[in-house]
Amino acid sequence: MTYDDLRRGRHSAPNQTYYVTIVTAGRLRHFVDFDIARAAIIEMRRLSDHRILDSFAWVLMPDHLHWLFQLLESQDLATAVKTFKARSARTISRKLGRRGALWQPGYYDHAVRRDEDLLAIARYIVANPLRAGLVDSLGSYPLWDAIWL
């Protein structure tokens, strides 16, 4: 799917909840390094601290991020994702001592409808390491969080 395909039909609304997937450039497995993963997590939390979004659940896989969050008043989805990608890329590229893109252009998003169960979506998100066969128990995977679990 091309970047333009990802953008087609995208609509952003303040206070909307989104399920977003962001993938590393070349699907490089940067986040097997705990220090690099922590840098991405810190940037995710910074968006919450700056009142751009409320984070509900996330899991950082070796080469991508699944994230469930609600945009806050007057915030825009594209700007929130762009801010996260830019800040995390700057920090992580410095740690890796490299140049070039950290993330693929674009991202996958799903605007969560009112009738969808946020807890079920959060469980699905954090269970990704189990489904991928990375661990046998979610407790063995350190790179996730959910406000309900």
- C-alpha closest to that of 53 among 45, 41, 63: 45
Does residue 147 lie in a domain region? no
Summarised one tens digit per residue, pLDDT across range 16-66 is: 999 999 999 999 999 999 999 999 999 999 999 999 999 999 999 999 999
- C-alpha closest to that of 32 among 81, 84, 96: 96
Q: How many domains does the chain divide into?
A: 1
Tokens of 121: 């979506």
Does residue 145 lie in a domain region? no
| pLDDT at residue 10 in the model | 62
Cα separations in angstroms, 105 against 34, 38, 58, 136: 24, 22, 20, 32
pTM for the full model? 0.90
CATH of the domain at 53: 3.30.70.1290
Does residue 149 lie in a domain region? no
Q: What torsion do the CA atoms of 110, 89, 15, 45 make, to the nearest 10 degrees?
A: 120
Does residue 100 lie in a domain region? yes
Instruction: Give the model's confidence band at 12: pLDDT under 50 very low, under 70 low, under 90 confident, else very high.
Output: confident
pLDDT at 3 over 50: no
The overall average pLDDT reported for the chain is 93
Does residue 87 lie in a domain region? yes
